[in-house]
Amino acid sequence: MSDPVTTARDDATLTITIARESRRNALNADVAAAIMAALDRAESDGGIRAVVLTGAGERAFCAGGDLQPAADGAPFSIDAADPRHYVAALLRRMNDCRLPLIARVNGHALAGGFGLVCACDLVVAREDALLGVTEVKVGLFPMMILPFLLRNTPNRVLMEMCLTGEPITAAEAKPHGIVNHAVPAAELDAKLGWLLARITDKTPTGIRLGKQSLAKIREMSLDAALEYAPFMLANMAQTEDAREGFAAFVEKRPPNWTGR
């Protein structure tokens, strides 16, 4: 049996590819486990500065749960008495990722696939890729991914998508901030490379601690956040990267980040 996910490293970037092209890169427990394992490896490798998540081929980024009869990973197989679902585990792991996580949307991202897009930090997409939640068409609602849809999709846009089940293109999603960049298919990798170059030359320590802080502040009250923020800023200022960044600024030279 072929691997459900493949990985490839290019300098400071690790690309994770869902490799179920014949199933439109649909999610199942093996795919989720493989993505989580790849994120673990990326974080343990001090040389990785960013992670890209994409799908094999050109048709689909990820079509969500497999709806073929008796398919592994079908949403109709969920046990209501067991909250430990693989999609929830994957979304938690993506949310906790300390590295910048970029979705390379090479094709349609629907249902749980759109959830994966919304769980990434940044999104570069083909302008003609369809994004949406089609669950209402099969008697469901996008329950598992709602926290991430709410985080990245304006309320009335989200309501229309959820209630009609009709997708929108990445080009249509761009003005709403759902994706960062929507480009012709031929320009997808060039735009992705442009974005990665502007991320991987920045402080890995500042980004790692900043992402951790952002995740916590998102859930805090204003008073709690304003108490937490100065504490984290003071700690970040003591890191080697912060000292190096300031020295490089004063000396008018590129910084040499250590990741510490």
Active site residues: 135
Residue 107 is encoded by which pair of tokens? 């094709």
Rounded to the nearest 10 degrees, what angle do helices 29-44 and 86-96 cross at?
A: 20
> Distance of CA 144 to CAs 195, 199, 211, 252, Å?
29, 30, 22, 48
> Residues 68-98, buried b or exposed e (16+ Cβ, 10 A)?
eeeebbbbeebeeeeeeebbeebbebbeebb
Which amino acid is residue 199, in one-letter code? I
Q: What is the three-class DSSP state of 125?
A: strand
Pairing of β 168-169 and β 130-132: antiparallel
- Can you tell me the distance from the alpha carbon of 181 to that of 194, in angstroms, rounded to the nearest whole number? 11
- Can you tell me the distance from the alpha carbon of 137 to that of 203, in angstroms, rounded to the nearest whole number? 45
- Can you tell me the distance from the alpha carbon of 73 to that of 92, in angstroms, rounded to the nearest whole number? 18
